[in-house]
Amino acid sequence: MKLNIAVFFGGESVEHEVSIITGHQAIAALDPEKYNVIPVYVAKDRKMYTSPLLLDMKNYRNLNSLISQITQIDLVQVDQNVVIKPVKTSLFGKKELGTVDAAVLAMHGTNGEDGTIQGYLEMLKLPYAGCDVISAAVGQDKVLQKHILHDNGLPITNWFWVYGHEMDEHPDEVLRKVRKLIYPVIVKPACTGSSVGISIAHNDEEYMEAFEEARQHDFKVITEKVVKPMREINASVLGDCFSARVSVLEEVGSSNELLNFKDKYQSNAKSGSSQGMASTKRIVPAPLDEATTEYIQKLALQTFKVLGASGVCRIDFMMDAETKTIYVNEINTIPGSLAFYLWTESGLTFPQLMDELVRIALDRKRRRDRMTFSYDTNLLETYSEGTKGVKK
């Protein structure tokens, strides 16, 4: 019997449009012999929709017009199933639009890659591909992530973080920390993506500006030593905590300029290119010697493991082009295009990658179902109201 797979894409994120592209790539790669695919579009206000109209990329040119023609839905647990229900039903309209067996998440950034949608699916007991709530959240929050990487001996650049408001309270203290790192530094909000809110500062004045920009996007602001001259190398890891494999490496970009969101996507969108997130220059496999390649692959597997990741992730590295020192930059737990282009070069087709993601999702659900999360006994059977508090 075919599995009903809901592919979620969109979301309230600066990467909304990129996610629509990833979603469509994932849908096209799901084998129709094995799966019935249900597209689930999460609009920028987080409402969910489905419709066959969502399958055609041309329909996204006018999002308001698209939304007016598609069906807003909700997912509901009914008996042992997760059922898709239209939010508004007419007298003779369908009350249910089918069931879902598992979800594939193609959502990038906030509210999609950060544990939010994962938590929603956990409440529904619906298996989903990719990281669980905690690893997704850690994957999105660069502060938590860096602490875990550092604690596990993975190489990261020198850094510190403060809350945005600490700059108002004691700017001198913050500036002292920056000067200890030695300019230039790079300033980032803890939880955005696509370089949003990120800038480089060469002196105190630029730092204050960069800090102000970063705090517009998050309460937590990271300051990091700039790696320069820098080469960016990425690896994809596929699997879970039981077994994982690593792809060939890619080298991205050709200059040391910091690509901002506009450079990355908007210039490309205007020129009408369909490459989307794949627009930056990539060399696959990365031109590195065998020992360096193997070292980065080993670091990628360790990063995946210590962050508790699963599904398909992309782990980004920076190499100091002079000293050849390698740093882990960050994990992307739902990478653009699901990093399929790295797997094709590693002997796994995109449809095979999708099969693996579904398999890993169902496997996690099976393993979790065997774990104890609650007891059948009702401790309240003997409860009588008193004045004592509840001890947890």
Ligand X SMILES: Nc1ncnc2c1ncn2[C@@H]1O[C@H](COP(=O)(O)OP(=O)(O)O)[C@@H](O)[C@H]1O
End-to-end Cα, the chain, rounded Å: 45
Q: How many residues bind ligand X (CB under 6 A)?
A: 18
The region of 11-19, 54-62, 91-99, 224-232 touching ligand X under the rule CB under 6 A is: 224-232
Burial letters 287-303, b for 16+ CB under 10 A, else e: ebeeeebeebbebbbbb
Nearer to ligand X, 163 or 261 (CB): 261
Q: Name the minimum Å distance from CB 50 to ligand X.
A: 30
Residue 16 to residue 263: CA distance in whole angstroms = 16
Nearer to ligand X, 17 or 232 (CB): 232
277 lines the binding site for ligand X (CB under 6 A): no
Kindly state the tokens that stand for 220.
């937590």
Residue 366 to residue 242: CA distance in whole angstroms = 14
214 lines the binding site for ligand X (CB under 6 A): no
Nearer to ligand X, 105 or 354 (CB): 105
Check: CB of residue 186 under 8 Å from CB of residue 215.
no
Kindly state the tokens that stand for 305.
């493991």
User: Site for ligand X (CB under 6 A): which residue of 40, 214, 227, 326?
Assistant: 227
72 lines the binding site for ligand X (CB under 6 A): no
5 lines the binding site for ligand X (CB under 6 A): no
Q: Name the minimum Å distance from CB 142 to ligand X.
A: 6
Nearer to ligand X, 239 or 335 (CB): 335
- What are the DSSP calls for 196-259, one per residue? TT-EEESSHHHHHHHHHHHHTT-SEEEEEEPPSSEEEEEEEEEE-SS-EEEEEEEEE-SSSSPP
Strands 35-42 and 3-10: parallel
Residues 170-189 that bind ligand X (CB under 6 A): 186, 188
Residue 348 to residue 180: CA distance in whole angstroms = 46
Residues 315-344 that bind ligand X (CB under 6 A): 316, 318, 329-330
Kindly state the tokens that stand for 262.
């506009």
192 lines the binding site for ligand X (CB under 6 A): yes
13 lines the binding site for ligand X (CB under 6 A): no
Residues 239-258 that bind ligand X (CB under 6 A): 258
User: Nearest to ligand X by Cβ — which residue?
Assistant: 227
Kindly list the residues in this chain that would bind ligand X in the complex (CB under 6 A): 157, 186, 188, 192-195, 198, 224, 226-227, 230, 232, 258, 316, 318, 329-330
